[in-house]
Amino acid sequence: MVGDLAVSIEVCALTTQQYIALIKAAPAAGIRGGSFFDAVRAQAARETHCDKIRTLNVRHFRHVAPDLTVLGL
């Protein structure tokens, strides 16, 4: 499975400014703890114009990324 994914994955690094914006916006959005890492992944998806996220944790991603389509694996 990992080998199959490796050929189609695009790596995206967020800028310092993007991280700061996420950190500042997180409390008002109710994002805390481990969900912050989901918010980082969601922002990377937005930056790469990805409109769908596949995850084992659908509920958390729907909370941090209501603008994206979140699908289970």
> In this structure, is residue 21 part of a structural domain?
yes
Whether the pLDDT of residue 1 is over 70: the answer is no
Give the residue-averaged pLDDT of 40-64. 91
Average pLDDT, whole number, for the chain?
90
- Residue 13 banded pLDDT, cuts 50, 70, 90: very high
Going by the DSSP 8-state scheme, the letter that residue 71 receives in this structure is E
Among candidate residues 4, 21, 11, 8, the one with its CA nearest the CA of residue 41: 11
Judge whether 6 lies within some domain.
Answer: no
Please state the length of the chain: 73
**Number of separate domains in the chain:** 1
- Give the residue numbers spanning the domain of 34: 14-72
pLDDT tens digits, 33-50: 999 999 999 999 999 998
Helix axes 16-25, 35-47, angle to 10 degrees: 130
